[in-house]
Amino acid sequence: MPRIAESADVDERATIGEGTSIWHLAQVREDAVVGPGCNVGRGAYVGPGVRIGASCKLQNYALVYEPAVLEDGVFIGPAVVLTNDLYPRAVNPDGSLKSAHDWDAVGVTVRTGASIGARAVCIAPVTVGRWATVAAGSVVTSDVPDFALVAGVPARRLRWVGRSGVPLVDDGEGRWRCPATGETYTETDGLLSADAEG
């Protein structure tokens, strides 16, 4: 059974996985899917039709706007925003208030194991790669490669990280090693891949 705080607003059309916790004042909208074993923190927002995989953590006041997709094991830090409007306006050119029919939502995709730090903003449409890390306060305006550590405004790659999140050590000739786990990685044409994928 999921654990849903009395003050949370979870639409009856949403699907909530086994063992998931939804905390005080969080809102999960219609047709959203939150997988098993997730944690949705206080005041977090999950938009209509958002897809969240297993074992994800949305920290307090994170805003995940539709049509975002979060794969398994994703971490979304406090007050992170995943946007959905490339050209935001409150009104149409004729001055009429925009409605849901006056724009096309675009989403952010966060791949397996990736982490997005506190108060970062991802400007849709972007993809954050597998096991990547977005530093706190960053603004992501372009796709983030697998295993990349990005930071800044706009976010740029600073280092490579492994599945543990620890920065990798350069062993030379395009070889990288995780000091925490001993896992090894190979860099080819500016992209990193794990040598022994699980």
* Contact of 145 with 132, CB cutoff 8 Å: yes
Is 63 in a helix, a strand, or coil? strand
Q: How confident is residue 196, by pLDDT bands cut at 50, 70 and 90?
A: confident
DSSP string, 70-109: E-TT-EE-TT-EE---SS--SB-TTSPBP-GGGS-----E
Per-residue pLDDT, 197: 55
pLDDT digits (tens, 9 = 90+) for 115-154: 999 999 999 999 999 999 999 999 999 999 999 999 999 9
What are the two backbone dihedrals, phi and then psi, of residue 146, each rounded to the nearest 5 degrees? -50, 140
CA distance 120 to 155: 10
Q: Residues 73-126: pLDDT tens digits?
A: 999 999 999 999 988 999 999 999 999 888 889 999 999 999 999 999 999 999
- ∠ Cα 118 191 170 (to 5°): 85
| Domain spans in the chain, listed from the N-terminal domain onward | 3-161, 162-198
Place of tokens 């697998």: 146
Q: Which two tokens stand for residue 153?
A: 């405004």
**3-class secondary structure per residue, 102-139:** HCCCCCCEECCCCEECCCCEECCCCEECCCCEECCCCE
> Which token pair is 115?
């982490």
The Cβ of residue 64 has, within 10 Å, a number of other Cβ atoms equal to 31
8 Å CB contact between 5 and 23: yes
Distance separating alpha carbons of residues 62 and 59, to the nearest angstrom: 6
Rg for the chain (alpha carbons), in Å? 18
Supply the pTM of this predicted model.
0.95
Which residue, among 162, 107, 114, 111, has the nearest Cα to 135 in the 3D structure?
A: 114
Lowest average pLDDT, out of 9-23, 93-107, 171-185, goes to 93-107
Architecture in CATH of 3-161: 3 Solenoid (2.160)
pLDDT value, residue 46: 98
What's residue 198's pLDDT? 44
CB atoms near residue 195 (< 10 Å): 11
pLDDT beyond 70 at 22: yes
